[in-house]
Amino acid sequence: MILGKGGRAGSVVIVLFLGIAAVFTLFPIYMGLLNSLKTEGDMLNGILSIPSRLEFGNYADAFRKIHYWRSLGNTAEVAAIGLAGIILFASMAGYKLSRSTGRLSNAIFLVFVLSMLIPFHSIMITLTRISRSLDVQGSTWGLGFIYIGLGVSFAIFLYHGFVKSIPRELDEAAVIDGCGDFRLFFVVIFPLLLPVTATTAILNLLWMWNDFLLPLLMLTNSKSYTLLISTNMLFGEYGNNDWSAILASLVLAMLPVIVFYLLLQKYILHGIAEGAVKG
């Protein structure tokens, strides 16, 4: 409606334009999928054409070469540890920092918020050194821990803002009922934080799932490679040569996020808009 009454012709032009943009957007994904189902020879005969017969061998190959289940499991493990820690710790801290009014609480909150300015590239060199001396380098759980450290500040910021919308009277009533601080938080408050928890979970999950540089620096053992790192290593080995196997591995690597996206699209788009406006 924003463009007013452009009439039938205007409408067609708009749909046509959007259609072209959509084709452009989907083109690389489509080409990747299409050619991952061709044999090398089939691909040379015509990159744009439909495969003469579906070749699933590339997928079997890619499955093995990137150790798909292991890599997927590692990625999930890292994300699960990171997510559990971020949500638990950030909700606790965000709640209490939001409720307290003292100078100490303000100072702590400020420290968290200010760090959101620090680009990852500025701390990565020293971070690798510290991680090594703490022996968290190289393992999936260690990587999860690092994500907790990197992710809490933004999550605290989100929780801090949201808690303000929960009436204080609730706390007070619970305290009168004889609820301790921790019980009050976990029983009464935490369930009320569900909307912001969902946003936090989605934003952090996407970030950890698609993050590349940190695992590249941290995971020195090939047994703990995440999906992205395995794919990158495969690419490094086969370079610009054996595209059909590479494309199959790319399709496999993006499959989980695409499924996740199509299933939970509504929440994801909402979470993205929320997070961006708050940040």
Partner 1 sequence: MTWTKKTKQTVILLAFAFPALLFYAVFVLAPAFGGVGYSMTDWNGLNPAYSRVGFANYVEALTDDSYFIDAILFTLKYVVCMVVLQNAIAIGLAVLIESRRRTKSLFRTIFFMPNMISLIIGGFMWLFIFTKVLPDIAAHTGLRFLDQSWIGDPTYSFIAILILSLWGGVGYLMVIYVAALQGIPSHLKESAAIDGANAWQSFRYVTLPMIYPAVTIGIFLTLNSSFKVFEAVYSLTGGGPGRATQVIALNIFEEAFANSNRYGYASAKAIILFLIVMLITVVQLRVMKNREVEA
Partner 2 sequence: MKKASYLVLVLAMLLSVLSACSSGNKNNNGDPSNEASPGASSAEPSKSAEPASQEPAKQVKLKVFLTLPRFKDQFDAYFEQFKAKELKEKNIDVTIDLEMPNSDQAKQILQTRLASNDAPDVFAIHANDIPAYYDAGYLEDLSSQPAVGKLFDSVKQTVAYDGKVPALPLESLSWGYLYNKKIFADNGITPPQTLDEMKAATEKLKAAGIPAFELAFQESWVPQLMTALSLGGIVNSQQTDWIDRMNKGEGSYADVSGIFDIIDLINANGSAKPFEVSSAAGATDFANGKAAMWVQGPWMAESIQKANPSMEFGVAPLPVSNDPKGTMINLSSSTSIAVSPTSKNKDVAFDLLNYLLDDQASSAFFEELKFNPISSIHTYKSFPWVDEAMTYVSQGKAYQDLKLPNGVTDEQAKLLQGYYTKKVTKEQFIKDMDKTWANAIKAAAGGK
Binding site for partner 2 (CB under 8 A): 81, 84-85, 88-89, 128-129, 132-136, 139, 141-142, 145, 183, 186-187, 190, 220-223, 233, 236-242
Site for partner 1 contains 254 (CB under 8 A): yes
Q: Which does 3 bind (CB under 5 to 8 A by kind): partner 2, partner 1, none?
A: partner 1
Site for partner 1 contains 247 (CB under 8 A): yes
Rounded distance between C-alpha atoms, residue 170 and residue 176, angstroms: 10
Q: Give DSSP secondary structure letters for 154-213.
A: HHHHHHHHHHTTS-HHHHHHHHHTT--HHHIIIIIIHHHTHHHHHHHHHHHHHHHHH--H
- Please, are residues 177 and 171 in contact by the beta-carbon 8 Å criterion? no
Site for partner 1 in 145-204 (CB under 8 A): 145-146, 148-150, 152-153, 156, 181, 185
State both tokens at 23. 């084709």
Stretch that binds partner 1, among 62-70, 163-171, 193-201, 251-259 (CB under 8 A): 251-259
Q: Is 4 helix (H, G, I), strand (E, B) or coil?
A: coil
Nearer to partner 2, 16 or 84 (CB): 84
Nearer to partner 1, 134 or 173 (CB): 134
Closest approach of partner 1 to the CB of residue 278, in Å: 10
Site for partner 1 contains 31 (CB under 8 A): yes
- Please, are residues 98 and 163 in contact by the beta-carbon 8 Å criterion? yes
Rounded distance between C-alpha atoms, residue 36 and residue 51, angstroms: 9
State both tokens at 37. 């189902």
Site for partner 1 in 94-133 (CB under 8 A): 95-97, 100, 102, 104-105, 108, 111-112, 115, 117-127, 129-131
Site for partner 1 contains 212 (CB under 8 A): yes
Q: Which does 195 bind (CB under 5 to 8 A by kind): partner 1, partner 2, none?
A: none
Nearer to partner 1, 26 or 173 (CB): 26
- Please, are residues 59 and 36 in contact by the beta-carbon 8 Å criterion? yes
Residues in the chain: 279
In the block, residue with structure tokens 């706390």: 171
- Selected binder of partner 1 within 35, 139, 199, 200 (CB under 8 A): 35
Cα distance between the two ends of the chain: 29
State both tokens at 210. 């698609």
Nearer to partner 1, 214 or 224 (CB): 214
Site pattern 227..246 for partner 1 (x: CB under 8 A): -x--xx--x----x--x--x
Using alpha carbons, list the distances in angstroms from residue 110 to 88, 104, 118.
20, 10, 14
Q: Which does 142 bind (CB under 5 to 8 A by kind): partner 1, partner 2, none?
A: partner 2
